[in-house]
Amino acid sequence: MDEEDAASDLKTVSPGRSLLSSAMVGSANRGRVLQTLFDLGPTSRAELARLAGVNRTTISGIVQPLLDQQVLVEGKPIRPSESGGKPARPLWFSPEARPICGMLLMPDAVHTCLVTLAGTISAEESEPFPVERPRIADVERAIELCTARTLAAARREPLGIGVAVGGMVDTDRRAVIAVNLAPVLNGFELGDMLTRRFGLPALLDHHPRALLVGDRWFGKGRGLQTFAAVYTGEVLGGALYLGGHLYRGQSGAGGELGHTFVQVDGDICSCGRRGCWETIATLGWLRRQAREIGIDAPDDIHSRRLVELARDGAPGAEDLLDRYARNVAVGIANLQQTVAPNFYVLHGDVVGGGEIMAKAIARHVRALVPSRSGGEISFAIGETEDRAALLGAAGLVLSELLQFPL
């Protein structure tokens, strides 16, 4: 790669949380223009200037260096309007810009990929962790191997590594606090390890929060100021984007939605407490119920199969689908009553259930929350599981680069 170009491009100033170079995001205007562009999609210079609230001279001062550095490209001219005038060329993020390395750390494996600034995924790799009593050195080795393979595919040096962690994290220390299903990862200072090993800035966040960041940059939350992401599967989690800010809580402790209470004296949860939302709205619950009502192969039940079984008229399937949707809806209703995000992107297992599952959840939420005029609650289905997490992980780095106020 071109060293001089890289230096003037998105140079990193420290291996810690800050990825910012004065060259790229030195001005608030620049951040605002790039955010506006991201939210709108390909847009002409004139339109971008108008919508970002900057004048023509400012927009040229911002856009030209980014074109020179191949961060942005100009598309084919759009036909001029009836009144004549120069044909406008829409600006968008260049596929030649330096990519971001996205990583998903799960209890049993690591996944990595490259993500372009336009949200295209490539160079996907994964590496399992040893099943039998893994040591942290084994885990580190697997992460190194996987990351090195992905980075080797990059034509230009990546801007940084963003990690979605399927467990509790300390976003300030860039460390894993605890992963219930993989205690070997507890206390793992992954951010430091990645920076030391690969010389790239690295950022970590909780998996559901990364999903929301991915939605905000590349998905259904693009351009929105307030919404929530809810993930269900083996575990349950979520994240909130409120008034233009990702709500993390102290050191990233917020968003443990799975462990909010929905049932006093309910079932025991993986966290050791009773009655958490996670005990009634995850796959563990669904499998137990499927077994109880005699559904075939209850251990292989998930939303997609449940929807198919209900469609085929399997005994009890329609009722189970409705109860599962209601259990997911219960926690969403609480969230709606507490902070009213009004727009929810559903992730994880329920994505497989498609529109039928989303509609069932929406119906129950609406029944559980008093209606108010102008307070329409809507739902969208997120990307498929790994893709959503990897885009989100990359989005963490992007947010930092664009000085997006998360």
Contact residues toward Zn ion (CB under 5 A) are 259, 269, 271, 273, 276
In whole angstroms, the minimum distance from the beta carbon of 166 to Zn ion comes to: 15
In whole angstroms, the minimum distance from the beta carbon of 401 to Zn ion comes to: 35
Measured from the CB atom, the residue of 276 and 390 that comes closer to Zn ion is 276
In whole angstroms, the minimum distance from the beta carbon of 172 to Zn ion comes to: 24
Calpha distance 322→81 (Å, rounded): 52
Measured from the CB atom, the residue of 201 and 258 that comes closer to Zn ion is 258
In whole angstroms, the minimum distance from the beta carbon of 141 to Zn ion comes to: 32
Rg (CA), the chain: 22
For the beta carbon of residue 161, count every other beta carbon within 10 angstroms.
28
Three-state DSSP class for 13? coil
Measured from the CB atom, the residue of 43 and 282 that comes closer to Zn ion is 282
100, containing H or E segment: strand 100-105
Residue 251: which of 170, 131, 134 has the closest Cα? 170
In whole angstroms, the minimum distance from the beta carbon of 249 to Zn ion comes to: 16
Handedness of CA 329, 330, 331, 336 (dihedral sign): positive
Measured from the CB atom, the residue of 273 and 291 that comes closer to Zn ion is 273
> What are the backbone angles phi and psi of residue 392, rounded to the nearest 5°?
-65, -40
> What are the backbone angles phi and psi of residue 355, rounded to the nearest 5°?
-60, -35
Calpha distance 184→57 (Å, rounded): 55
In whole angstroms, the minimum distance from the beta carbon of 259 to Zn ion comes to: 4
Measured from the CB atom, the residue of 245 and 273 that comes closer to Zn ion is 273
Calpha distance 70→67 (Å, rounded): 5
Answer whether 109's CB lies under 8 Å from 88's CB: no
CA neighbours within 13 Å on the CB side: how many for 39?
18
Measured from the CB atom, the residue of 54 and 335 that comes closer to Zn ion is 335
In whole angstroms, the minimum distance from the beta carbon of 270 to Zn ion comes to: 6
Measured from the CB atom, the residue of 11 and 274 that comes closer to Zn ion is 274
In whole angstroms, the minimum distance from the beta carbon of 273 to Zn ion comes to: 5
Answer whether 171's CB lies under 8 Å from 220's CB: no
In whole angstroms, the minimum distance from the beta carbon of 331 to Zn ion comes to: 12
In whole angstroms, the minimum distance from the beta carbon of 178 to Zn ion comes to: 12
Structure tokens at 377: 């609650």
Residue 165: which of 392, 401, 405, 404 has the closest Cα? 392
Helix 28-40, helix 56-68: angle, nearest 10 = 80
Measured from the CB atom, the residue of 207 and 216 that comes closer to Zn ion is 207
Calpha distance 309→358 (Å, rounded): 16
Answer whether 142's CB lies under 8 Å from 110's CB: yes
Measured from the CB atom, the residue of 73 and 276 that comes closer to Zn ion is 276
Edge-to-edge strand order for the sheet containing 72-74? 43-44, 90-93, 72-74
